A and B are shown apart, each in its own frame.
Chain A
């Protein structure tokens, strides 16, 4: 299989990689921090690393990285699939799974007892790359004790049988039923016997509920509950292994609902009903549910890194009096509601995500958009509103993205441009080289933001890379660091013209004025559509894509394109792809002693 990359883009990246030793403002996690006081701190000189040290390597976009794998469809013959790494449930999945296992008796978020949050794959939560620590094991034990005690105290609400008619029979029936859902497959006889033995040990001298409680703590600490386990069918031969029906059911359920499969999905798996047609049918069923909103929200919030809002510093309240820290949560929620609205109720088209002036506001968000307060008696509920289409179009013009990509006291055309380039176009610029000053320009009332950033990069080596980002970021200059519209900055007219330098995509060619124009272009862009395919696949598979995913990616993109870029059809194409229903065969290591 031959992988190709866009030659022109590659060349630009190579040029960019060769330079870049000056001033960079790569806020990343530190948005709103580094520069707040306008420091021009002096960097320590960069001395060469000791012999044998690797220099900062720059990886151009491409397969295996965050770029989009590209391959001619004709080259795809036979199934090919990528890895399926063992990974712990994310904390959100853990909470959702426990909620679904023990409805209606369990409320709250048991993951609050875990010391650790989630690691990431790109912008998406995934624990594929990290191992659990001793403290993590201990935490799962403490959380299992806590959950099992709560369930044991309300056992009659979850039991499928009456213990008065035979305690051990009832315990066995409940543990089999619960285990099937917790492990997302039929519980094997010896596993069930082990759980019943624990029930007996806990029951001895105590109550029925005590016995069940002890067995539950074992279910909730089992790797079969805590991990995504995708071993594939046992007798498979060759480089690609089909997943079992239960494994496919889990993939579907965690993709669309971020939780364990429901009973109809498990039944479909038991009846071997998850062939390609069955998978599509289940995917459409899961997408028709309101629970799909959770996945839409999680995907978009992580994709645009709005989950980092909590990490981002507060805005300078002297400059932005409408700001308060509670807005951060509202902003992330706004994006989730908007994306859910577009995908579930407004036609589902990718273009709409980039062009719709509709959004959802509540509380302080309304004032940031200069909307009147909620009508009397409406309370403080979310409400759907239409914004001025000359100023707002799509999620990149919503306050969440605009505020997240700004500093405390000024916007950052660099960060705005970088996130569009890396996350929306899948053309990540290389990271700044070590030792550069990553502080943005100091505040200067005599110059608009754009000119201060231009001055910083101009004539330096940095420009080689920054021209890939900054001119995209300039198109957002009509929005201040809180995301409020502005025609002028410090009395000077805003210049929001820019371009997507070095793109081969006709939809993105030429001068672009303002983010509404940019959104129109992005919404029609095949580069963006391919990137969205890449990102939904990363989200669905919880790992980076590799060469084994290239054909699946191409076919998923084809399905997306043929539907006129309907996100729901993209997801149907993803779940029908080879890499979703298969895995690269396990190269068994010698078992540790």
Chain B
């Protein structure tokens, strides 16, 4: 992909043209280079589970630093990144076990990142929405309301549990953006392109001012209406106002670019939302993640490969699945034919994980790479697919979060709740949370990371 390089100087020049940023310039130029890059979090989600024989065909052999990725297993494709991996299993999703209406993939989906029980109703379709935020949102909130970006690949639009991985707060699902071109626009539209003279592009500034005026008008409507509503409805409108304020904020204050920041060219508009386009859309979304993180436009992103109980047939593989992957995932462990199909499909997801890691690892940040300064986490909604197991959940982490984690290891959680793993990640991100998810599952971090 051809890139327009945004050098630190050109960005600062562009920023400097706006009077409001004038006084900040010396600070940016002198201090920004030296500051260590803040850790980033990238969540990868795939479905449905890892293997029909889990943990067989998935788990590495050996333990801790003396582990090997066995030939033919799901994780084998990650071999080139072995030194930067932190493979974790043996943690249980207890909120899945204890939620009302538990049993199916949607409940696994609503609990996997939240660690919160789901409401005892059908607000999320087959079961209730989770009663707390997902770990990415809890971390973002603790860090002062960081912007987070949820991207998707061929995720169904229905606002139901099985399609929603991330939650802003209790009962507040966050839909992922499936469309790379729209994702690009929302991240890079407010990036001021440098001009030859260093002066701002007047047309760019005019359009930006108009968008801001329109949002001012919308905010006035929302604020007036809010005062006339009951409590529950006020909260709904507050969420809307919050979105408007954040977008307005970005229009007022373009974000400082980091070293290595390169804006990708806008992905082609077109239909990337079909199953057939999954590989292409996935690649475009991963490049957007790389660029957005490198440019400091956000620190927390997720990429959701499809919905829970994925129905993909992996038609892009030389040998596609003979049935929908969810159907295959329910084969008995002794059904070796279907076990091999499932493993093949998940190896393809592992290859995408590797591609994401390599994209991040190619961005240098001082003597480290963007991957080193990040925590990449690949997760799924159930562990062993044919029994919808909530125990022994599989996680593949990569990157050390700037040195917080010791990588190149395979770590077992010994039945600890997922909540503890997430609390460890929160600390690595600089968010000093006592716990993530329902506090009744205990507090504190997962030892040994």
Contact = CB atoms under 8 A, between A and B. Distances in A.
A41 B52 CA distance: 10
Interface stretch (B237-245, B278-286, B346-354): B237-245
B247 A33 contact: no
B214 A198 contact: yes
A549 to B, nearest CB: 17
Interface in A110-139: 113-120, 122, 127, 129-139
A165 interface: no
Interface stretch (B59-67, B70-78, B254-262, B326-334): B326-334
Contact of B103 (A39, A133, A202, A435): A435
B332 A40 contact: yes
A85 B185 contact: no
A200 B185 CA distance: 26
Interface in A73-126: 85-86, 91, 113-120, 122
A432 interface: yes
A114 B157 contact: yes
B171 A115 contact: no
B205 interface: no
Interface in A1-30: 24, 26, 28-30
| Interface core residue of B175, B185, B326 (most chain A CB under 10 Å) | B175
Interface stretch (A334-342, A460-468, A469-477, A581-589): A581-589
Contacts of B99: 434
B185 to A, nearest CB: 7
Given A44-B389, A136-B175, A222-B221, A129 B123 contact: yes
Contacts of B228: 231, 586, 588
Interface stretch (B16-24, B158-166, B363-371): B158-166
A35 B213 CA distance: 55
B240 A223 contact: yes
Contacts of A130: 129, 159, 171-173
B434 to A, nearest CB: 17
Interface residues of B, number: 96
A49 interface: yes
B225 A434 contact: no
Contacts of A24: 103
A223 B221 contact: yes
A485 B106 CA distance: 33
A163 interface: no
Interface in A222-249: 222-224, 229, 231
B328 A131 contact: no
B243 A129 contact: no
A50 B441 contact: yes
A313 B176 contact: no
B73 to A, nearest CB: 21
A39 B174 CA distance: 34
A194 interface: yes
Contacts of B247: 134, 137-138, 141
Interface string A21-57: 0001010111011111111111110110111111011
B153 interface: no
Contacts of A223: 218, 221-222, 225, 237, 240
A221 interface: yes
B367 to A, nearest CB: 35
A116 B243 CA distance: 15
Interface in A284-313: 311, 313
A33 B242 contact: no
A49 B98 contact: yes
Contact of A113 (B182, B230, B309, B391): B182
A551 B393 CA distance: 50
B441 to A, nearest CB: 7
Contacts of A119: 123-124, 159-160
A592 B234 contact: yes
A86 B233 CA distance: 6
A54 B120 contact: yes
Contacts of B174: 133, 135
B102 interface: yes
A201 interface: yes
Nearest to B331: A37
Contact of B327 (A36, A311, A432): A36
A229 B225 contact: yes
Contacts of B328: 37
A313 B105 CA distance: 14
B334 to A, nearest CB: 10
Interface size class of A (residues with CB under 8 A): 35 or more
A147 interface: no
B418 interface: no
Contact of A116 (B94, B124, B175, B237): B175
Contacts of B120: 54, 56-57
A436 interface: yes
Contact of A142 (B182, B384, B386): B182
A269 interface: no
A490 interface: no
B365 to A, nearest CB: 27
Contacts of A85: 232-233
B13 interface: no
Interface in A473-505: none
Contact of A224 (B129, B160, B206, B225): B225
| Interface core residue of B120, B238, B247 (most chain A CB under 10 Å) | B120
Nearest to B238: A592
Given A29-B126, A135-B150, A36 B330 contact: yes
B227 interface: yes
B7 interface: no
B311 interface: yes
| Interface core residue of A29, A222, A589 (most chain B CB under 10 Å) | A29
Given A53-B440, A54-B100, A142-B185, A313 B324 contact: yes
| Interface core residue of B177, B221, B227, B328 (most chain A CB under 10 Å) | B221
A438 interface: yes
B286 to A, nearest CB: 18
Contact of A198 (B157, B217, B242, B386): B217
Nearest to B313: A314
A439 B159 CA distance: 25
A258 B326 CA distance: 35
B236 interface: yes
A591 interface: yes
Nearest to B126: A28
A131 B232 CA distance: 10
Interface string A309-322: 00101100000000
A40 B387 CA distance: 9
Contact of A117 (B157, B168, B227, B384): B157
Contacts of B125: 29, 120
23 contacts: A29-B309, A34-B330, A35-B330, A50-B94, A116-B159, A117-B158, A134-B242, A135-B243, A141-B211, A141-B215, A142-B185, A191-B221, A198-B214, A222-B221, A311-B158, A313-B327, A314-B324, A434-B97, A434-B101, A435-B103, A439-B330, A586-B228, A589-B230
Q: Which 8 A-B pairs have the closest CB atoms?
A: A137-B243, A589-B231, A434-B102, A117-B157, A131-B239, A116-B175, A86-B233, A41-B386
Interface of B: 94, 97-106, 117, 120, 122-127, 129, 150, 152, 156-160, 162, 168, 171-179, 182, 185-186, 206, 209-211, 213-215, 217-218, 220-222, 225-240, 242-244, 246-247, 309, 311, 323-324, 326-328, 330-333, 335, 338, 384, 386-391, 440-441
Given A114-B157, A201-B209, A223-B222, 16 more contacts: A34-B104, A39-B332, A39-B386, A40-B332, A41-B332, A47-B97, A115-B178, A130-B159, A134-B242, A134-B243, A138-B243, A214-B213, A231-B229, A432-B101, A587-B230, A592-B234
Interface of A: 24, 26, 28-30, 32-44, 46-47, 49-54, 56-57, 85-86, 91, 113-120, 122, 127, 129-139, 141-142, 191, 194-195, 198, 201-202, 205, 214, 217-218, 221-224, 229, 231, 311, 313-314, 408, 431-432, 434-439, 586-589, 591-592
